[in-house]
Structure 1
């Protein structure tokens, strides 16, 4: 029986490329600036205010813009006044809350 290894390799490569395109990817500040200037995402300041308002007295630990499944989202980590770390994810294009959970 003759096996076509080339076809199998191509299929594996296509599957790898497809799966990696579904994974979340963090964007850098230059990419975020271009997206903001083109009106694709909302200003980070606006989304940070929204996230911080959910937990008054909280302090910002980190904010990252990521692209997953073709959608842009800001993942914001806060520490509340009570010392609890929260992870808030907001749709970067609409500001809609995706999740707010203890980290």
Structure 2
């Protein structure tokens, strides 16, 4: 997987909070770091190993940590070696793939 640690940390942050019920709430960098330190979520680097197994040599385009209906989810966009952009949602606690689809 082609990405740098500093790029991943920058991509992890999301700005603002959703105020409408039922929508995802983006977590800021301080909250993400706290959850990682407390062991609530997997380290992003470890989670991306799962993605690299499914899509070897893919390129990370974007990543966000969100809370959706009480579940912490990493939303990740990658570019595969075939030139296809895929959007994945991964459970931030265990790396389980919740969604994997081609992005339009």
Q: TM-score band (shorter)?
A: 0.7 to 0.9
Between 1:78-87 and 1:47-56, the stretch displaced more is: 47-56
Aligned to 2:45: 45
- Whole-Å separation in 1 of the counterparts to 2:57 and 2:35: 30
Aligned to 1:61: 61
TM-score, normalised via structure 2 length: 0.76
SS in 1 for 2:51: helix
- RMSD of aligned alpha carbons: 1.3
- Whole-Å separation in 2 of the counterparts to 1:101 and 1:45: 21
Aligned to 1:92: 92
TM-score, normalised via structure 1 length: 0.77
In the TM superposition, 1:9-88 aligns within 5 A as: 20-88=20-88
Tell me the matched-pair count. Answer: 85
After TM superposition, where is structure 1 displaced by more than 3 Å over at least 4 residues in a row? Answer: none
SS in 2 for 1:21: coil
The structure showing larger relative contact order (alpha-carbon pairs under 8 Å, at least 6 residues apart) is: 2
Where does the alignment leave 5 or more consecutive residues of structure 2 unmatched?
1-18
- Whole-Å separation in 2 of the counterparts to 1:22 and 1:40: 22
Q: Between Structure 1 and Structure 2, which shows a larger proportion of helix residues?
A: 1
SS in 2 for 1:41: coil
